[in-house]
Amino acid sequence: MPPLTLRIHVLDRYGRELRLWIPLFLLWLLLLPFALLILPVLFVVCVVIDVDPFRGVAAVLGVLSSLRDSRIQVDAAEASVFVHVI
Amino acid sequence: MSENRRQILQMLSEGKITADEAERLMAALEKEPRPEPLKGEALKPRAKYLRVLVEAQEHGHNGSPTKVNIRVPMQLLRAGVRLGALIPREARDRANEALREKGVQFDLNQIKPENLEELIEQLNDLEVNVDEDRAKVRVFCE
């Protein structure tokens, strides 16, 4: 399953805090019609470059799904940033 | 490859046994139960994440060093290698050529999804520690 939420936490050096919960599932829903439109083009491109389109789509979906539970935290002098893919 | 399999193949190559006999011996080997791990030889849990920790010695206004802490799921590495296997052969050949020009003798065509698990398993024991004046970098699996 692709990631459903992106959690971002930013804390700057003045102590100002920003907490964001980005609902990625809404983004996927918005992108779905575009994906359906692009699918035939993608299929043709895959055939031209000699790549199995089904394996290609499966691999891209696999990368998206595997992004879940990734975390990036940067603590710098200017600000601290924490990103968590849920 | 187990020692028994190696011996069977050795005997086959030396002509001591026929191909049919070798096949029967291999089949018999597969039926044998796998040896239990020895006492105290606990199975190492599979790593779930690749961690990258960087601590730069650049102090900012508040005097604290810059730190980077990244946790990447191993599943993402698997998916990445699978995606890499889809790169068209022409592109892989060009990448191989570029690697060779840089002195890296590595063939990207050799990375196949079937070897993936073995590749990831080997990463379990990976640990990279770089300790320099400007930064400390640590890469490991957990």
SS (H, E, C) chain B: CCHHHHHHHHHHHCCCCCHHHHHHHHHHHHHCCCCCCCCCCCCCCCCCEEEEEEEEEEECCCCCEEEEEEEEEHHHHHHHHHHHCCCCHHHHHHHHHHHHHCCCCCCHHHCCHHHHHHHHHHHCCCEEEEECCCEEEEEEEC
Q: Which two tokens stand for residue B69?
A: 């802490």
- Test B70 with A59 for CB contact under 8 angstroms: no
Q: B70 in contact with A at a CB cutoff of 8 Å?
A: yes
Search chain B and give the residue with CA nearest A60.
B83
Instruction: Tell me the C-alpha distance between B18 and B25, whole Å.
Output: 11
Residue numbers in A near B93 (CB within 8 A): none
Residue numbers in A near B89 (CB within 8 A): 50
Question: pLDDT, tens digit, for every residue of B77-130?
Answer: 888 877 877 788 788 888 889 989 988 887 877 777 677 777 777 788 888 999
Closest CA to A25 of A57, A58, A2, A8: A2
The complex's ipTM works out to 0.82
Q: Which two tokens stand for residue B78?
A: 């698997």
Closest CA to B115 of B81, B69, B76: B81
- Test A55 with B70 for CB contact under 8 angstroms: no
Least Cα separation, residue A74 to chain B (angstroms):
4
How many domains are contained in chain A?
1
- Test A71 with B79 for CB contact under 8 angstroms: no
* Tokens 């699918």, residue located: A39
Angular region, A52: left φ>0, alpha ψ -120 to 50, beta rest? beta
- Test A62 with B62 for CB contact under 8 angstroms: no
- Test A60 with B75 for CB contact under 8 angstroms: no
Closest CA to B91 of A49, A43, A11: A49
Residue A69 belongs to domain spanning? 5-85
> What pLDDT, on the 0 to 100 scale, is given for residue B38?
53
Please, what is the average pLDDT of chain B? Answer: 79
* Tokens 């096949």, residue located: B23
Q: Which amino acid is at B84?
A: G
Q: A62 in contact with B at a CB cutoff of 8 Å?
A: yes
CA–CA distances in Å: residue B5 to residues B12, B17, B44, B89: 11, 13, 25, 34
Residue numbers in A near B69 (CB within 8 A): 71-75
pTM: 0.68
- Test A70 with B72 for CB contact under 8 angstroms: yes
Question: pLDDT, tens digit, for every residue of A2-43?
Answer: 899 999 999 988 889 999 999 999 999 999 999 899 989 988
Least Cα separation, residue B84 to chain A (angstroms):
9
Beta bridge partner(s), residue A17? A11
Chain-centre distance for alpha carbon B64: 36
